Homo-oligomer: A and B are copies of this chain.
Amino acid sequence: MLNRDPATRNPLRRGEPTFDGGRGLGGPGELELLSGIRQRAEGHGARALTLGIGDDCALLRPRPGEDLAVTTDLSVAGRHFRLEWHPAASVGHRTLARGLSDLASMGARPLAAFLSLGLPRELTGGARGGGASWLDRFLDGFFALANASQAALAGGDLAESPVAAADIVLIGAVPRGRALLRSGARAGEVLYMTGTLGGAAAAFQRLSGLAEAAEANRRPRRLRIPKSLGPELVPHLYPQPRLAQGQWLMRRRVATAAIDISDGLSTDLGHLCEESGVAAEVRAEALPVHAGATLEEALHGGEEYELLFTAPASARVPRSIAGVPITAIGRILRRSKGRPQVTLVSAEGSRSLEAHGWQHFK
């Protein structure tokens, strides 16, 4: 039944596009919320951002000779994160990291971010006793990574939603025609990756173990993570997008193709092969498996945000880029009948490596 009070008779309305007065969440505190976000976003604008939060659109002024890379990623509570498991700051960090990693894989540098949040009202209010709200802590994690990555928050939207969801848009710049694509790999090239594999999956297993134990003990809704476990969980809670590495590979014209390992090596290498029209061979013993992770976690673990890239056999690829180790893990082959798209070679012999990226709840 509709409320016929003139000020509230229409249950359908739109919020403002750029955090500038939209009342997407309703309630008296919302203008303060929005102005708080606007304040936190100020002073961190890239020079390319000529108009930030406060008008119908943000305005970007790319440098001449630049292409713009654009990516968007939707995270939904219960699917991409769990309110009971993940600290709010981790959800903010991970939301942004997903988008930044897509820029990294193209060799683009971040110009601006746009964040749309749908949130249950209880997540926007302060905790009892005047503590920070879930949204405050989400923004702590978001802005810490945004500032470190020089990704200015240039706009977004805020609306009440029964389910928490965050959609992140990243716009980056890359010299014209120089973006690293998935489609550039050729037979004979070497397959490389940054960092290690399986750390995020192992940390997730640890986190889910904690959660199960807490559930079994009927502990409170929000999981408490022991401080001592913090470092172990970092690869899952606070993964680092490889922006510096992607830009280095683009600038030095080293990589012929690249993709970020967001759905697991087996899945993302399949994408790269598909788009390049090639096959690949991975040597199991060459894989830089994260300490404490299993080979299975390294092969199929998602949300690593490491870069997978190819380079000609003659290319000089350094052992590390900006402090992150680079490892040759295999090679690119011609696609041919009867050959698996991706072959895993190990001491036990060769087998087809099927895509087993992270799956949903069943």
List residues of A whose CB falls within 8 A of some B CB. 1-3, 5-18, 20-24, 26, 50-51, 54-62, 64, 67-76, 78-82, 98-99, 102-103, 105-106, 108, 112, 114, 116-118, 154-163, 165, 167, 169-172, 174, 176, 179, 181-183, 201, 204-205, 208, 212, 215, 259-260, 262-263, 271, 275, 296, 300, 302-303, 356-362
CB-defined contacts of A154 to chain B, threshold 8 Å: 70
Please give the distance in Å from A141's CB to the nearest CB on chain B.
16
Given A303-B14, A362-B3, the answer on whether A183 and B76 have CB atoms closer than 8 Å is no
Q: Which of A64, A118, A170, A212 has the most CB of B within 10 A?
A: A118
Indicate the member of A1, A5, A57, A61 with the most B CB atoms within 10 Å: A57
Q: Given known contacts A105-B56, A169-B169, is B156 in contact with A72 (CB within 8 Å)? A: yes
Contact B1 A212 (CB under 8 A): yes
Interface centre among A16, A72, A79, A112 (most CB of B within 10 A): A72
Q: Which 9 A-B pairs have the closest CB atoms?
A: A13-B358, A57-B69, A167-B167, A26-B360, A74-B116, A74-B157, A56-B102, A10-B358, A60-B68
Choice from B82, B271, B300 contacting A6 with Cβ under 8 Å: B300
B14 touches A181 (CB 8 A): no
Report chain B residues within 8 Å CB of A183.
55
- The oligomer's copy count stands at 2
Q: Evaluate contact between B15 and A179: CB separation under 8 angstroms.
A: no
Do A6 and B358 touch across chains, with their CB atoms under 8 A apart?
no
CB distance from A189 to the nearest CB of B (A): 18
Additional A-B contact list (11), CB under 8 Å, known A6-B300, A13-B80, A74-B167: A1-B215, A2-B212, A5-B362, A6-B356, A14-B303, A23-B357, A56-B260, A70-B114, A71-B155, A74-B117, A79-B161
Whether the Cβ atoms of B302 and A14 lie closer than 8 Å is yes
Chain B residues with Cβ below 8 Å from A263 are 13-14, 16, 22
The 12 listed contacts between A and B (C-beta, < 8 Å) are: A8-B362, A11-B82, A12-B358, A13-B79, A13-B80, A17-B102, A59-B179, A61-B68, A72-B167, A79-B159, A80-B159, A160-B360
Contact assessment for A201 and B106 in the assembled complex, using a CB-CB cutoff below 8 Å = no
Residues of B near A205 (CB, < 8 A) are 9
Give Cα distance in the complex from A69 to B155, angstroms: 11
User: A55 touches which one: B23, B81, B275 (CB < 8 A)?
Assistant: B275
Q: Take A71-B56, A116-B72, A179-B51 as given contacts and tell me if A10 and B167 are in contact as well, using a CB distance cutoff of 8 Å.
A: no
A68 touches B72 (CB 8 A): no
A14 and B262 contacting across the interface, CB-CB below 8 Å: yes
A182-B56, A302-B14, A361-B11 are known contacts. Are A118 and B275 too (CB-CB below 8 A)?
A: no
Report whether A72 and B182 are in contact in the complex, using a CB–CB cutoff of 8 Å: no
Query: Given that A74-B157, A76-B118 are contacting pairs, would A98 and B58 also be in contact in the complex, using a CB cutoff of 8 Å?
Result: no
With a cutoff of 8 Å between Cβ atoms, the chain B residues found around residue A106 in the complex are 55-57, 59
Tell me the bound Cα distance from A58 to B73 in angstroms.
13
Q: Let me know if A71 and B50 touch, CB within 8 A.
A: no
Nearest chain B CB to A112 CB, angstrom units: 7
Residue of B7, B14, B70, B357 near A57 (CB, 8 A) is B70
A17 near B61: Cβ-Cβ < 8 Å: no
Evaluate contact between B155 and A165: CB separation under 8 angstroms: no
When C-beta atoms are compared, the residue in chain B nearest to A359 turns out to be: B8
Check B70 against A360 for contact (C-beta < 8 Å).
no
